[in-house]
C-alpha cells in the first residue's frame, strides 16, 4: 500500500509520461508539479517506487517510466476516486451521436469514429449478435477421413459452414458421435454460454480433442457472418503513437485482434468482472501479443442484446479520458 505522498509522486510521473512519452526525472517532477516536498525527497520516493516495481529506469542516468503495476495503481486510484467520472466535453458527444443516427449499424460506426477521435486509440464496437447468436443445429458431413464440413444453423435462421481438416483420421462413426454430443450440449446456447455455463460432466464430455477442435470452429462460425458488424476504427491514430511509429510493432496486435475467438474471450471477460468498465493493462491481457497495449471496455445493452465497446491503445494511454469516452459510448448505445 503506497503512502499518499508516494501515490501523488507516482500519479505525477504517469501524467507526465502520458503527455510527453519521455522518461521522467525528479527535477522535472518538482518543477512541473506542486508536490510540497524537496527534490531529495522526490528522488527517495522514486527509488522506493522503483524497488516496489511501480516504475523502472529504461537506461542508466535516464528518468523513470511506469510499469504495468504502476499503471494499475494509477487506474485503480482513478476509478476509486471518481476522477474518471468527470464528463468534460463527452456529454455533448453523446447528445450529438444520438441525434445523428437512428439505425444501430450507423450509430455503431459513428460511435466508433468518435471514440477513436476522442482517445487517439483503436476503437472497437461489437454488435450484440456477435455474442448472442444461439445454435439451432450442428451438422458434420464427412468428406474424407481427414476432412469434414461443419454446418451451423442459428436460431435466427442464418446458416454458416466451413471445412475443417484433421491431423488424424476420423471415421464416420466418430464424426456422428461428435455431432450427437455437440447437438445435445450446444443447441440453444450462444458462443458466450459455451464458455460460461458448462458443468463438470459437460466439461469432461467435451474434453475430447476432436470435439474441442469442432467447438472452436463452431464458435468461429457463429461470429463469422457478424464480423463485418464489429466496427474497428483508429489504426492511423495508433500509428501516430511513439510506441507504434514502426508499423511492425503494431502488426502482432492487429493479427491477434483479427481472431474472433481472442476478441470474444477478451471482451466477454468485461461482462463477467461485475463492474461498469474493464481496464486491462499490458501483461494483464490474456493474449501475449497484447502485452504492449491496454484495453478499456464495457458492455452495452442488456441480456441477449448485449454488445461491447472498447478502445485499445499503448499502455501509456490517457486512462481517465479513455474511461470517460468508453462510458459515453456505452451511454449512446445502451438503449438502442
- Domain-wise residue ranges, the chain: 4-66, 83-127+228-333, 133-224
Query: Is pLDDT of 272 > 80?
Result: no
In which band, very low, low, confident or very high, does the pLDDT at 295 lie, cut at 50, 70 and 90?
A: very high
Per-residue pLDDT, averaged over 154-181, amounts to 83
Mean pLDDT, the chain, whole residue set: 81
| CATH, range 133-224 | 3.30.390.60
* C-alpha cell recorded at residue 87: 464528463
* Average pLDDT of the residues in 58-66: 86
Q: What is the pLDDT of residue 80?
A: 85
Please check whether the domain covering 4-66 is classified as CATH 1.10.10.10. yes
Query: Where is pLDDT greater, at 187 or 37?
Result: 37
Which of 94-103, 177-186, 266-275 shows the lowest per-residue confidence on average (mean pLDDT)?
A: 266-275
pLDDT in the model for residue 275: 54
Q: What pLDDT sits at residue 49?
A: 97
For every residue of 67-129, DSSP letters joined together read: -HHHHHHHHHHHHHHTGGG--TTHHHHHHHHHHH--SHHHHHHHHHHHHHHHHSSEEEEE-HH
Confidence of residue 118 (pLDDT cuts 50, 70, 90): confident
More confident residue, 53 or 300: 53
Question: What mean pLDDT is predicted for residues 296-319?
Answer: 84
Which whole-number Å values give the CA distances from 154 to 20, 54, 160, 180, 230, in the listed order? Answer: 50, 48, 8, 17, 19
Three cell numbers written together for 249:
510493432
% of the chain surpassing 90 pLDDT: 28
The pLDDT score that the predictor gives to residue 18 is 95
Contacts 24+ apart (CB under 8 A), 32-35: 35/5, 35/8, 35/9
Class of the CATH domain delimited by 83-127+228-333 = alpha beta
Beta-bridge partners for 233:
123
Mean pLDDT of 143-165: 82
Across 258-264, average pLDDT: 68
| C-alpha distances in Å from residue 329, one per residue of 219, 228, 261 | 27, 19, 23
- Of residues 243, 3, 4, 236, the one with CA closest to residue 116: 236
Q: Is residue 192 over pLDDT 80? A: no
Query: What is the mean predicted confidence (pLDDT) over 79-90?
Result: 67
Grid cell for residue 259: 481472431
pLDDT tier for residue 274 given thresholds of 50, 70 and 90: very low
Amino acid at each position: 500500500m503506497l503512502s499518499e505522498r508516494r501515490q501523488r509522486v507516482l500519479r505525477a510521473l504517469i501524467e507526465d509520461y502520458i503527455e510527453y512519452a519521455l522518461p521522467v526525472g525528479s527535477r522535472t517532477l518538482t518543477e512541473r508539479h506542486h508536490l510540497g516536498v524537496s527534490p531529495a525527497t522526490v528522488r527517495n520516493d522514486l527509488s522506493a517506487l522503483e524497488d516496489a516495481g511501480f516504475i523502472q529506469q529504461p537506461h542508466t542516468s535516464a528518468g523513470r517510466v511506469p510499469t504495468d503495476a504502476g499503471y494499475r495503481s494509477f487506474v485503480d486510484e482513478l476509478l476509486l476516486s471518481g476522477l474518471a467520472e468527470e464528463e468534460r466535453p463527452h456529454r455533448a458527444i453523446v447528445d450529438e451521436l444520438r441525434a445523428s443516427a437512428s439505425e444501430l449499424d450507423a450509430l455503431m460506426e459513428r460511435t466508433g469514429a468518435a471514440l477513436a477521435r476522442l482517445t487517439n486509440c483503436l476503437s472497437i464496437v461489437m454488435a450484440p449478435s456477435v455474442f448472442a447468436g444461439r445454435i439451432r443445429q450442428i451438422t458434420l458431413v464427412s468428406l474424407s477421413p481427414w476432412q469434414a464440413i461443419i454446418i451451423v444453423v442459428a436460431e435466427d435462421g442464418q446458416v454458416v459452414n466451413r471445412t475443417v481438416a484433421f491431423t488424424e483420421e476420423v471415421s464416420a462413426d466418430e464424426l456422428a458421435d461428435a455431432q450427437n454430443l455437440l447437438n445435445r450440449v450446444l443447441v440453444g446456447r450462444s458462443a458466450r454460454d459455451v464458455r460460461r455455463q458448462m458443468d463438470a460432466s459437460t466439461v469432461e464430455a467435451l474434453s475430447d480433442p476432436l470435439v474441442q477442435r469442432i467447438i472452436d470452429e463452431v464458435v468461429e462460425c457463429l461470429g463469422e457472418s457478424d464480423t463485418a458488424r464489429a466496427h474497428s476504427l483508429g489504426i492511423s491514430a495508433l500509428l501516430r503513437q511513439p510506441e507504434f511509429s514502426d508499423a511492425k510493432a503494431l502488426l502482432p496486435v492487429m493479427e491477434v485482434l483479427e481472431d474472433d475467438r481472442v476478441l470474444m474471450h477478451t471482451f466477454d471477460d468485461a461482462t463477467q468482472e461485475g463492474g461498469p468498465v474493464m481496464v486491462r493493462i499490458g501483461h494483464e491481457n490474456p493474449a501475449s501479443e497484447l502485452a504492449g497495449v491496454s484495453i478499456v471496455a464495457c458492455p452495452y445493452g442488456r441480456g441477449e442484446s448485449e454488445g461491447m465497446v472498447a478502445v485499445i491503445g499503448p499502455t501509456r494511454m490517457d486512462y481517465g479520458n479513455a474511461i470517460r469516452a468508453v462510458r459515453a459510448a456505452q451511454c449512446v448505445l445502451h438503449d438502442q
